[in-house]
Each structure stands twice: as C-alpha cells, then as structure tokens.
Structure 1
Amino acid sequence: MDSTSPDSESEPGGGAGRSLDGTSTEPAAPPGGPATYFDGLSNRRQTVTISLANQLVMRSADNFVSWPYVDIRRVDGPSGTLRVSCLSASPLARLEIRDAALADALIARCVQIDENRLTRSGIARIVGWSLAAAASIVALVLVVLPRAAERLTPLVPPAMERHLGEAAVVQIHALFGEKACSEAAGQAAFAKLVTALRQPAGLDDSIASEVLDTPIPNAFALPGGRFFLFRGLLDKSNDPDEVAGVLAHELGHLKHRDNLRQVIHNGSSSFLIGLLFGDVTGAGAAIFASRAMIDASYSREAEEAADSFAIDVMHKLGRPTRPMGELLFRITGKEDGKRPSLWGSHPLTEDRLARMRAEDRPASGPPLLSAEEWKALKGICR
C-alpha cells in the first residue's frame, strides 16, 4: 500500500509539492490584476484581468487576447497610467494599467517597450531636419527659383501666357468690380495713344488695354498682352507725354515678358512656402500668383529695363522723356532717405526722374494727342 501522503505527491508536470524541509515547491503565480482594454475597433471600454506569463494575456467575460512582449510599445497616456499598444494587434488597440507594481512588472518583461518613443535626442533630430528643410526651401525661393524662372519664361508658349493673363482678369474684376471706362471720345483717344506707342515698341495689334474707374494712380500689365490704366493716374497727369511714358514702361514689361517671369517665380515660391506650412493643394499659390500680377512688383533690373524701353519708345516718337519721371515723382513723392538705393528692389523715384531728365530730348515729333483728345481721355470715365 502506498503510504505517500497527498502533500508529498507531485502534480502532473512536477508542479506542486513540498521540499524535504517542508516548504512548498509550487511555482509562484504570474503577476496579474485589473486593467482597461480598448480593442481599436469600437469606442467600448472593456475591463479585463491581465496576467504576465509567457506573454501578456487579457481576459474578460467575453474576450481573450494575448500580446507578445516583444511587440508591446509604450504610447502617451495620462499621468499615473501606463498605456501600451501592440505592433501585431489593431493599430488603435490600447491597454491601460493604473496599478504601479503591475505596470512595472509589464515594463520589465517588454525589453523594446520604448523603442519608438521620442527621446530628447530624437526630438532634436526632428527639429534639426525640419530647420534644414525650411532653410532649403528658403534657398530655393531666393536663389534657385529666380534662375529657373529666367530659363523657363522663353519656353512658355504665347497661348499659355494669354491664358494666365485671362485668369488674372478674374482677380482684377473681383478686386475693382466692373468699372471699365467706356466714354466714346475718351476710348478713341486712348486707342490712338496705345496704337502710337505699340508700333515703335514692336508689338502687334493683339495688345488689349483698358481704363478702370478707380482712384488708385497706377498702371500694370498682364501676361499675354493686356494692360490696365487706372483713372487715378489720369487724374494726376498734366499732359499726354506723361501718360505715354508710363504706358510705354508697361509695354516694356510686356515685351520682356517680365509679368510671366514674375508669375513663374512667385507662384513657385508661394507653392513651396505653402507646402512648408501645410498648403498641400497649392491653392494658395494660384491666388498668390494672380495677386502678384496685379501688384506688379518687378525686380529692380526689370524696372530699369522697362524704363530703358520707355525712353527708347519716346525717342522714336520724338517726344520728351522727362514728363514720365515727373509724373512718377508727383505720385510717390520724395523718397530720399527712406531706403538705400543699392538695396531697393526698384529704382528710387528720384533716381528715375534724374535719368529721365538726363535722357530728355526736345520734342521733334507731332503731339501724341490733340488738346481735344487729351480732354476726352481725361474724361473717359465720366
């Protein structure tokens, strides 16, 4: 008869029993306790009991989930709570443990729990790369894009250039409304003045021009051969030669395709800056490019070249160049001391006036408009 007592009998697998000195040899139960589980498929919060055996096991009345320790990663959670996810589970699945001892026991088993967690050095690397990317975009905008625009401009077909100009007209009407000046005699005088300028400028009759009833003293050109004159500039003009010089300057921008070059440069620049700040669609670039055409803020070199073009046109017509400089000076006023001439993106008005005076010649050609035609042009918006 076997006299071995139940206490000395080993359970299958050699688990439970007592040693010779009477102490228990039953293995310690794995750590465990309550936790909160989110399956990542619904917003339901599940209370589970976890145990830390060969892997993390989560049990509830209607669920059983196990996660390998090697796949467990820490994610951000509230203070005093360990929140983890699992690489081999649903991407949104989360387990939250509030018991500090149980959390420490899990952390001890998950040797790669902080593998993807950002450290200070990791954050520094991200900031460094972000600053490098921003610096690269700035370098592109300031150095690369101007050269690229210079090379790309001659490659753009005239039909596409005209299409860009028509798109900008929509912005013009949105800004200034339907304020085209259409008094018949004034229109005839304006057409005569534009035709007189167009021929020595070497431009064909596809050039389209318009006077807008707005008090802003300005004129600007659009890609494809369209330019606008504002009533405000007519109001400040004393004779046709003043207006003709300004219009010849704008025809110079058209001849040199400065407005198209500006669109390529500014549109590309705003697109890159938009990407930097999250405008991935480039919608801001399109709006910026259209506004840039209207603002007509050309480079210093382009403005000087357009002035040279205007001077040449006025010389061919036998008309003086000084009136153009005097009109510009009258509109903008004295700018001496406001900014260094070398650093300005445009020639200063004083410098331009001095040049127009230096290049001035006595009138040798017929007046561009008669006194009656000049009066009609001044009243074109009435």
Structure 2
Amino acid sequence: MTATDSEGVLYFDGTSNRRHAATLALADSLEIAVDGKTMARWPYAEIRRADSAPGTLRLSCQSAPALARLVIRDAALAAELSSRTSNLDEHHLGRRGVARIVGWSLAAVVSIVLVVLYGVPLAADRLAPLVPESFERRLGEMAEKQVNIVFREKACNASPAGQAAFDKLVTALRSAAGFDTSVQSAVLSSPIPNALALPGGKIVVFDSLIAKARNPDEIAGVIAHELGHLRHRDNMRSLIYNGGTSFLIGLLFGDITGSSAVIFASRTLVTSSYSREAETAADTFSIEIMKKLGRPPKAMGELMLRVTGKEGGKGLTIISTHPLSEDRLARMSREDQTPKGPPLLTDAEWQALKGICANGKV
C-alpha cells in the first residue's frame, strides 16, 4: 500500500529542518521515498508513536536520527500502518502514564516533606556533636563577619571599668557552666536589644539589651541562656538542619547545584531562630546556672517580657519559633529562689556596665 499525496504524508529526515512530501511503501519494512528516491527504511518493530494533534499520526523510529519524524494525515494509511507496528505505543504516555507520573511526583514531594520534618532534624542531632571544634571556630569567624554586616555594630571597648564589669560577670557565669577561657564575649553597640551565641564559642550582647535591664541578674540570665546554646551546640544543629532543608528544597524545585543551600546556610548563622525545643533547653540551662550561683532565675524572664511585651495575642503560638515571653516568665517564676549568693556585680560595677558604650565607640 502506498500514498503519494503531499498533504497526506510528510517526512522530516532529522538532519535538516526541511519537510518533504513522501511516498510510503508498506513492504517487509516501511520504505520512505521522496521524489522517487528511497530515503529511509524503518523496521516496523522500531516505529514508535510521537505526540501529535488529533487526526494526525506522528511517528519516529528508534534506529533513525533522533529528530526524524513521519507525519501521516491519511486516516486509512495511518490505520494500515498502525496494524503492522505492534510496538507503536510502547513508550507513549497515555492518560494512565500521565497519572502514573503525577502519582510518583506527589509521592516524591511527600517523601521530601517527611525527610524535612523528621529525617533532617534527626540527622542534625546526630551530626552536630561530630563536627570538629576547629571547623566550628572557623564558622564562628564567618558568623562574626555576618554580624558586622547585618547589624553594622561597633565594639564597645572604650570604657575600662565597663569592660572589667562585663568580664567579671561573664567569668562567673562561664565558670559555673563549666566552660574554659576559650569562650569569648563582647558587647556591641546596636539598637536591637538582643544577644547571640556564635559557633565556636562566642557570646555577643548588644548594649540596647543592657540598657533595658534593671539589674545584673537579668543580663546574667540571658548570658547563661546563650551559654546553654553553646553547650548544646544549637547553632551547628540549626546550620545542618537549615542547610539540609535548603538542599532538599533545591532538589524539589530544580536547583541541584547547591548554591541556594550555601547562601541559605551562611545567613542562618545569625538570622534564623532556634527551635522552641532548643530555646526551652537553653532556658533550663540558664535556670540551673542561676540557681548554682544563688541568683534568681526569674530575672531573665522579666527582662524578656520587658523587651518583647506580651506575645499571646500577636499570632499563632503553634508556629512560633520561641516560647512566648509570658510563658517563659511563668516557668522561671516557678523555679525562682530568694538570692542566696553574693551579687554578681556591685552597684558601681553595674553602673559601669550600663555605660560600657557611653564613653565612645571604635
């Protein structure tokens, strides 16, 4: 059986973009001729259906050039040829094939979500203690540079009395927590009332937080809380978790180069919040250290509530990364005790610490 109508059969040889009006011969194999010259022979077993518009049969051949195509608009010829090609639809996606792909895609998305929710946190918990301290210190140096960029702070070291008071406070807390002198600390000038624990063992306190404190115990509780983050290596755990999550999201949305993971992970060092569980554990550490020093744990909770205000009506607490300040104060109030030990700072030292950034910035 043959067809010579140029509107009925078109042939693309796969080596140029020209289309040819073709004649087909249905012999032992499909013979394709153009202007009376045989251009190709396609074995029936290697002919496959390609995507095409309704009413058109579009074919390819496994042994032909990858871009070679045959377009048949003659319904009778298409039916006859289809009857000879038993493998015509072997790789063609019908509705069931599309549904299968959609199903597998949804399964892949669900799998990634489950890994993010359960697998990555578990891996972060296991891997964080294994990270060498030397590597963590290098990360801490990078994080400190990020602090300089994000907060554009100035180190407050022009007041010897204020620096001495701060060093005395940190030394008492560091000794009670069992840290050696490798843990460093600094007061930075910033309008943000906050404190940070950086990888490698460095505590950063912003002077705006000191300005809002009413006594040394309030600042001491915050520093003890940050020491808790260092003890539990929460910053490394957070870095591993967020870096792994970013990589999986990159896989899901097509970025498999890892670039987004690197950017996301570096910013995580100073901008992401710890999980509620990590915050609660750091609060527990602070309570224990303050009790060990004979000082009231409640002081930190009072400072936190003063800084943030009541948070209960500000949004959904279930998605909050930190426990609510009022809940933290309530818990610390339950653990509170009458001061038993000596004050961590004298009145003069406290006033010097309050003015640590007042005499100049460098």
TM-score, length-normalised on structure 1?
A: 0.80
Kindly state the Cα deviation for residue 48 of structure 1 after the two structures are TM-superposed. 3.9
Deviation string, structure 1 residues 6-65 (Cα, Å, up to 9, x no partner): xxxxxxxxxxxxxxxxxxxxxxx53344343333344x2131422132222233368722
Indicate the residue corresponding to 1:226 in structure 2. Answer: 202
By how many angstroms is 1:248 displaced?
1.4
Paired amino acid for 1:375: K
For structure 1, list consecutive stretches of 5 or more residues without a partner in the other structure.
1-28
- Structure 1 residue 349, shift from structure 2 partner: 1.3
The 8 Å contact of residues 73 and 116 in structure 1, kept in 2 or not, is answered as: yes
Question: Are the structure 2 counterparts of residues 229 and 39 from structure 1 closer, same or farther at C-alpha, using a change threshold of 3 Å?
Answer: farther
Q: 1:21 maps to which residue?
A: none
Q: Hey, what does 2:230 align to over in structure 1?
A: 254
Whose relative contact order is higher, 1 or 2, with alpha carbons under 8 Å and at least 6 apart? 2
- Equivalent residues in 2 for 1:44-83, closer than 5 Å: 44-54=17-27, 55-60=29-34, 64-78=39-53, 80-83=55-58
Q: Which is further off, 307-316 or 67-76?
A: 307-316
Which of 111, 125, 144 is residue 136 of structure 1 equivalent to? 111
Task: Find out whether 1:266 has 2:239 as its counterpart.
Answer: no
Deviations 1:286-308 (A, max 9, x none): 22233333234223332222112
Q: In the alignment, does 2:9 pair up with 1:30?
A: no
- How far apart in 2 are the matches of 1:336 and 1:49? 77
1:40 matched to 2:14: yes
1:161 aligned partner:
136
What's the counterpart of residue 12 of structure 1? none
Rate the CA distance shift 1:286–1:98 in 2: closer, same or farther, 3 A: same
1:243: how far off?
Answer: 2.1
Distance 1:79 1:232 in 2: 71
- Other structure's SS at 1:377 match: coil
Distance change (3 Å), C-alpha of 1:45 and 1:256: same
Deviation of 1:253 after TM superposition, in Å, equals: 0.4
2:218 to 235, 242, 246: 242
8 Å Cα contact 2:137/2:200 also seen in 1: yes
Q: 1:127 to 1:342 in 2, by over 3 A?
A: closer
Cα offset, 1:378, TM superposition: 4.9
| Structure exhibiting the larger radius of gyration computed from Cα positions | 1
Residue in structure 2 matched with residue 299 of structure 1 by the alignment: 275
Contact 1:36 1:46 in 2 (8 A): yes
* Contact 1:181 1:380 (8 Å CA) reproduced: no
TM-score (norm 2): 0.84
Change in 2 beyond 3 A, CA 1:30/1:156: same
Contact 1:235–1:378 under 8 Å retained in 2: no
In structure 1, the residue matched to 2:358 is: 379
Corresponding position: 1:124 with 2:99: yes
Report the identity percentage.
53
Is 1:362 the counterpart of 2:339? The answer is yes
